[in-house]
Amino acid sequence: MTTRHAFDCRNFKTAARVAALALGCCGALFAPAAATAESHIAASLGLPAPGQQPEGDVLLSVTITDSANTDAKHARYLFDRTALEVLPKDSFETSTIWTEGLQRFEGVRLHALVQELGISDGTLWLTAINDYMVEMPVSELRADGALLAHTRNGAPMTARDKGPLWVVFPYDENPRWQTETVYARSIWQLDRIEVER
């Protein structure tokens, strides 16, 4: 299954590079403003310290490795529910192909999360408790895109209903979010993220 996804991602990468080139131009214009906002968020909210064991059950671990320097020590962040709720919160309503009816998801945008982590490029490797893994280039993350949801219809999610963390996209908003790649990336029962930069 991983092979198939990798293939899809390569294709997607190519397309994304083209899109990124276009976006890059816009991005350059807004870069200073974005930097200001970033520093403000970092200052006001903050991440848990690397390697710090949170008080509650660990829902998510984020490991950052540096591909250029393999010997460097990995930065590892552990999030419990409280830590996740500290992160910039976002929400939207959408239907999914795995559920019946509209669902309200609440959580943090992946885009916002990597910004919090100070990651600007590289690849995210997202893995579920059943070891299902997907690959997401950082450059393809959009501010209005993937949401790392921890709350569904106002309640935390259990492993039985695809919790505790589920990467969802605003599928109804745009046909862009109705492709098989997007569905493949909609990983549920997520428990760890590895970032290679």
Partner 1 sequence: MMPTDDSQGPDRGDAPAKPAVARRVASAQDIADPPDLGRSLLGFRVHWLQMFIFLVIAILSLVLVFDTAARVSRQLEALRTSRADNQNYTVTQLEVESLDFALAVNVARQWQIAGQAGPAVQNGEAAEKERRALRQVRMRFDIFYSRIKTLENGLAHRVILESGGEPGLQLLLAFLDRTVPVMDGPDAALLALLPRLEGELLALRSVTRQLASQTITANAAAQERTRLEISRLLGRLALLSTVLVASLLAFMFFLWRLYRINRIRAVENRATLARLSTIVETSPDAIIVTSADGVITDFNAAAEAMFLLNATEAKGKSIGRLVKNGDFHNPAPAPERTGFVPAIDSGDLSNLHLVGQRADGALFPVELSTGMANLRDRPHCVIFLRDISERVAARRALEESRDQALAGERAKSRFMAVMSHEMRTPLNGILGVLDLMRDKKVDAGTRELLEVMEGAGQALLGHVNDVLDIARLEVEGVTLRKSDFDLDKLLRELMGGLEPGARARGNVMEMTCNPDPLGRWRGDPARLRQVLTNLLGNAVKFTRDGHVGLDVNLNPQPDGGAMLEVQVIDTGRGIPTDVLEKIFDDFVRVEAENTPQEEGTGLGLGIARRLVAAMDGNIGAESEEGEGSLFWVSIPLDAPQSAAHAPATPQMETAPRRKVLMVEDNATNRFILREMLRREGQDVSEAVNGVEGVKAAESEAFDLILIDISMPLMDGLEATRRIRAGGGPSAGARIVALTAHVIGDERDRYDAAGMDGVATKPLNLNGLRRILSGQGTEKDTAPAQKPVLDAAVLGELDDAMPRIQLIGLLQGFLDEGNDFIAVLPDLSVLPEDAQASAARVHYFSGLAATMGARRLHKALSAVETHLKTKDSAAARAAIAKVAPLWQLTVAEVEDQMAG
Summarize as ranges the residues that interact with partner 1 (CB under 8 A).
Answer: 1, 96-100, 129-130, 132, 158-162, 175, 178-180, 183-184, 186, 188-189
Cβ-proximal residues to 159 (8 Å cutoff; 6+ apart), any chain: 129, 189
Task: Give me the least distance between CB of 116 and partner 1, in Å please.
Answer: 28
- Comparing CB distances to partner 1, the nearer of 38 and 161 is 161
Task: Give me the least distance between CB of 182 and partner 1, in Å please.
Answer: 9
- Comparing CB distances to partner 1, the nearer of 78 and 157 is 157
- Comparing CB distances to partner 1, the nearer of 25 and 160 is 160
Task: Give me the least distance between CB of 174 and partner 1, in Å please.
Answer: 9
- What's the start-to-end Cα distance of the chain, in Å? 24
Say how far apart CA 137 and CA 132 lie, in whole Å: 17
Task: Give me the least distance between CB of 143 and partner 1, in Å please.
Answer: 22
- Comparing CB distances to partner 1, the nearer of 33 and 160 is 160
Cβ-proximal residues to 128 (8 Å cutoff; 6+ apart), any chain: 187, 188, 189, 190, 191
